Amino acid sequence: MDLFVTKYCRLSSKGINTHKGGVNLPLNDMVYDPQALYTLLQLSYPKFFKMDTLCKYGILAGECLFERNPLSYTSSEIGIILSGQHGSLDTDEQFQQTLQPDNFFPSPALFVYTLSNIVMGELCIRYKIKGENLFTVSATPDYDLLCQYTTALFLQKRINACLVGWIDYYQRQPDILLVWVETTSDTNALPFNYNTLTSLYI
C-alpha cells in the first residue's frame, strides 16, 4: 500500500518549518516561548493556557500542520501514533518540587499532566481523533517502528488517515516532527517511509 505525507510540521530550537515553508519568527528566541508563538499564529484555543509546556508545543505544531482547516475524515477514521524521549519528565520534575517538605503544595492542575502520553490526549481532544492510538518512549526517534505500525493499521483498514510523529520537550528544548499520513497524494506529497521522516527531522 502506498502512503503519503501530505502535511508536516517540524518545530525545534532551530525554528518552525512546514509543508508550506518556514514560519517567520520576528525574534530568534521566540521558539522558546509557547505563549508568544500562540499570539504570533493568531490562535484561539483557551484551553491552551491550562496546559503544561509539552502539550502547548504539541498543539502549536498541530495548528501549524492543519492550519485550522477541518479534517476530511470522521473521528474514528483517524489514528494517532506518537513517540518521544522524555514523556512528561519536565512536568514530573516540577510536580516533584511541590512535594518537598519545605514547599509542600501539590497542584492537581499540574499533576494531571504527569502522564507520558498526555500530549496525545490533548491532540485527540483538539482534533477530535478517536481512532487507533499509540504512544511509545525511546531514546531517539524510531521511524522504522512508526512507519511499520502505521502501515499495518492502514492495511488492516483500521484507519484512513493518521497523525504520526515525534514529540519531545525537556529543559526548554522543544523537539517535534508531526506528519499527516493519507492514502491519497497531491503534487507536493512525499512518500511515507523511513527516509522521508529522517529527512524532515533534520
pTM of the full structure: 0.94
Q: Note the pLDDT tens digit of each residue in 143-180.
A: 999 999 999 999 999 999 999 999 999 999 999 999 99
In DSSP terms, 136 is beta-bridged to 83
Cβ burial of 60 (10 Å; 0-12, 13-18, 19+) is buried
Label the pairing between strands 15-18 and 4-12. Answer: antiparallel
End-to-end Cα, the chain, rounded Å: 26
Q: Domains, the chain, ranges and CATH? A: 4-87+116-201 (3.40.47.10)
pLDDT tens digits, one per residue of 95-152 = 998 888 888 988 888 899 999 999 999 999 999 999 999 999 999 999 999 999 999 9
